[in-house]
């Protein structure tokens, strides 16, 4: 039987530890093609490259893998993979990550990792974004490997609803083992930003963004933030349709 074709991408760049780990897991499951950014693209959201050329180069970072680095964004990588590199064979699955850092709650809107997964869903390809709640470059992933493989195999066997990308977040490694997985919803939360004004060595002013994460669902046990805080892996089915359908009904009562 033909192995499933798995497209692997990320937003931390093609040389990150997270994507190297993800590729090794996916090689156990199917045929792997890697198309990933040639530099970090964190926080780029669903940006695409317009008005300047996209460059694509074959690489030799991984073993036994068809692999390319792209000058564009994570969403660009998925588009190029589908329409150019894999134009004669549709991937069975897009997996993005493993991101260094959480993409739970509102962070999904800013996430390059999840933008790649959602781009897959837009193109009609089942997709999963994997993130580890550890921002360090040398983050430890070994406690997550079995869960990532299991989630991927289940997705291939049982299918992901059309137009849905799974947002999977994994707690950082601690002395306590992961308790399991919880399918849940995105927590209602936001970042409360602040901008520090600083001066560079040449005397020119600049701003550095910082902020605090505010969770408005602190008492709710059905959210991704609660799951992660309690050492569970969170799985949130996510869609690209941002329509608030109840608001459509309300606006239709306006005198327009």
CB 231 within 8 A of CB 176: yes
Is 132 within 8 Å of 139 (Cβ atoms)? yes
Helices (H), the chain: 17-27, 74-80, 112-122, 145-158, 224-229, 245-251
pLDDT (tens digit, 0 to 9) for every residue of the chain, 256 residues total? 589 999 999 999 999 999 999 999 999 999 999 999 999 999 999 999 999 999 999 999 998 899 999 999 999 999 999 999 999 999 999 999 999 999 999 999 999 999 999 999 999 999 999 999 999 999 999 999 999 999 999 999 999 999 999 999 999 999 899 999 999 999 999 988 899 999 999 999 999 998 888 999 988 899 999 999 999 999 999 999 999 999 999 999 999 8
The model carries a pTM of 0.94
| CATH superfamily ID and name for 5-186+221-251 | Survival protein SurE-like phosphatase/nucleotidase (3.40.1210.10)
């Amino acid at each position: 039987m033909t192995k499933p074709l798995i497209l692997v991408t990320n937003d931390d760049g093609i040389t990150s530890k997270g994507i190297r780990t993800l590729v090794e897991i996916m090689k156990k499951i199917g045929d792997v093609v890697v198309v990933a950014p040639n530099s970090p693209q964190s926080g780029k959201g669903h940006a695409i490259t317009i008005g300047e050329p996209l460059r694509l180069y074959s690489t030799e970072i991984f073993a036994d893998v068809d692999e390319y680095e792209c000058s564009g964004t994570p969403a660009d990588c998925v588009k190029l993979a589908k329409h150019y590199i894999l134009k004669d064979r549709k991937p069975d699955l897009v997996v993005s990550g493993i991101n260094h850092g959480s993409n739970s709650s509102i962070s999904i809107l800013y996430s390059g990792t999840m933008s790649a997964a959602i781009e897959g869903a837009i193109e009609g390809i089942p997709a999963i974004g994997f993130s580890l709640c550890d921002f360090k470059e040398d983050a430890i992933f070994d406690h997550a490997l079995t869960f990532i493989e299991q989630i991927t195999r289940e997705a291939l066997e049982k299918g992901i609803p059309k137009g849905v990308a799974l947002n999977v977040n994994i707690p950082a490694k601690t002395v306590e083992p992961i308790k399991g997985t919880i399918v849940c919803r995105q927590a209602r939360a936001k970042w409360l930003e602040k901008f520090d004004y600083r001066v560079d060595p040449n005397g020119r002013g600049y701003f550095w963004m910082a902020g605090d994460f505010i969770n408005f669902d602190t008492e709710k046990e059905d959210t991704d933030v609660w799951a992660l805080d309690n050492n569970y892996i969170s799985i949130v089915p996510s869609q690209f349709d941002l329509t608030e359908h109840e608001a459509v009904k309300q606006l239709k009562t306006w005198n327009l």
